[in-house]
Structure 1
Amino acid sequence: MRALEALILSDGRPGHYSLSEGIVTAIAQVREVNLRRMQVERPWWLPARALSYLVNYGVSPEQILRRVYGVDVHALGSPDLIVSAGGDTLAANISAARVTGAANVFYGSLRRYRPSDFSLVLTSYAEQAKGPNRLMTLKPSSNNPDEAEAAGSRPVRAPGDFPRVAGLIIGGDAGTVRYTDEDWRELLVFISECAELWGTRWIVSNAPRTPDLVSGMLAGMTGPQRAVQQFIDIRQVGPGTLGPLLTDSEVIVCTADSSTMLSECVWMRRPVVSVTPRGWALPANEASYREWLSANGWAKQLPIAQLNPDSFLDVLDAIEPLDVNPLDKLAEELKERLSLLIE
Structure 2
Amino acid sequence: MILITSVNGVDARFPDYIFSTRRVRYVEGEYVIIDNEPYIAASIRRISDIGTPGTPAEVVPVTDLPFDGNRTVKRAGLPQVNPAALSVKGFLEKYFYPFVPAEIAFTGSDATFEFGRRQNVTLRAKITVNDETEIANRRIIHVTNGNSLLFVGSDNDFSVETTMQGDETVLLHNKKQVFKALADVGGNGSPASIASALRTFNFYYPVLYGMAGYLNGATMYDALTKMVVSENTKQFSIALNGTNQYIWFATPFSLLKPVFRDHNGFDISDSFVLQNINITTSQQYPNWTYGYFVWKTGFTTSVANKTFTITYP
Please state which band the TM-score falls in when normalised by the shorter chain. Answer: under 0.3
Q: TM-score, normalised by structure 1?
A: 0.20
Question: More relative contact order in 1 or in 2 (CA 8 Å, sep 6+)?
Answer: 1
Q: TM-score, normalised by structure 2?
A: 0.21
More helix by share: 1
